[in-house]
Chains A and B, each alone.
Chain A
Amino acid sequence: MKMLKLLLLFVILGLGVVTTVMYSGIVDVAADEPHSDFVYWILEETRENSIKKAAENIEVPDLDVPDLLLTGGSDYEFMCSSCHLAPGQTESDMSLGLYPAPPNLTIAAESHKGHEHGDGAQNDRKNFWVIKHGIKASGMPAWGKTHDDQRIWAMVAFIKRLPTLTPEQYQVLTAVD
């Protein structure tokens, strides 16, 4: 009985803290004010594990197909490069202003700060899921609402090769025809 009372006290206390935090306005939601390391870690772990789990059963098709690079390339240039950049570019209004910041997809995945990365197929799977469903409360939109899986796989194929592309190769692949 004593145990139960104590538990109840904790629950009420917890709710009290949450309510105070919510209604006092002390949480800073400004995008130019980074999270504390602790909050960042919580959010990042939550996101990484959520994506990993949600994507685990997705089957990856053959992505070494030239036509995929062409559709994926022009889609990337028009829909993604403003945030995720193009070869030869190091920043944009979006890449600087958004928080969480959009990762620079023109550099190899291993060098993204703080992101955990598995093998190739695992990456493709996760990228597909992220492009299709987006990421809540970040700037990353869900493109699956307006694009079919084939278009999304094409973008996955393209961003897989993106870190290896020179600005000239990028220009040819992404130009409209």
Chain B
Amino acid sequence: MKTALLKKASKVALVLIPTITLSMAATAHDPSMHVKKAEKADCSKMDHSKMDMTDPVAIAMMKKCMKQAEKSNDKMDHSKMSKEMDHSKMKKMTDKNEKKDDHDEH
């Protein structure tokens, strides 16, 4: 009796768990939740000459932009890049569609 109940319970679980999991994924991807995209700070419009550096707002803005600049430098190391990425040695980038017919050598 007990095992029958247990079997039934596990069957129900087998159906319910994937269903719930999948439906949650569906709600998580509801487009309305993506309306707001995380934006990076737009530091280009900052006019330092007009900023009062005793104002907490100005200091906070500087901090944010400096941190953001540091971060993007971490990800992309330009000093190394210039050495290793030699565009002159790269093949000319071609459109994939152009090569459609080159199937001779497989």
Residue of A nearest to B43 (CB): A172
Q: Which residue of A lies closest to B46 (CB)?
A: A172
Q: Which residue of A lies closest to B62 (CB)?
A: A66
How many residues on chain B are close to A (CB under 8 Å)?
20
Determine the chain B residues whose CB is within 8 A of the CB of A175 once the complex forms. Answer: 38-42, 64, 68
Contact across chains for A70 and B64 when beta carbons are under 8 A apart? yes
**A176 at interface by CB-CB < 8 Å:** yes
Given contacts A168-B42, A171-B39, are A177 and B57 in contact (CB under 8 A)? no
Contact A177 B56, beta carbon cutoff 8 Å: no
Decide if B41 touches A177 in the complex (CB within 8 Å). Answer: yes
Please report the total number of A residues contacting B with Cβ < 8 Å. 20
Name the residue on A nearest B57 (C-beta).
A161
Give, as a whole number of angstroms, the nearest-CB distance from A162 to chain B.
Answer: 10
Roughly how many angstroms separate A133 CA and B10 CA in the complex, as a whole number?
Answer: 42
Tell whether, in the assembled complex, residue A65 and residue B56 are in contact, meaning their CB atoms are under 8 Å apart: yes
Interface centre among A65, A164, A169, A177 (most CB of B within 10 A): A177
B61 interfacial by beta-carbon distance below 8 Å: yes
What would 11 more interface pairs be, CB under 8 Å, given A66-B56, A67-B63?
A: A64-B56, A68-B56, A78-B36, A168-B45, A168-B46, A169-B57, A173-B60, A173-B61, A175-B41, A176-B38, A177-B71
Can you identify 24 A-B contacts, CB atoms within 8 angstroms? A64-B56, A66-B60, A67-B63, A69-B57, A69-B60, A70-B63, A70-B64, A73-B60, A78-B36, A161-B56, A168-B42, A169-B57, A169-B61, A171-B41, A171-B42, A172-B64, A172-B65, A173-B57, A173-B64, A175-B40, A175-B64, A176-B38, A177-B41, A177-B71
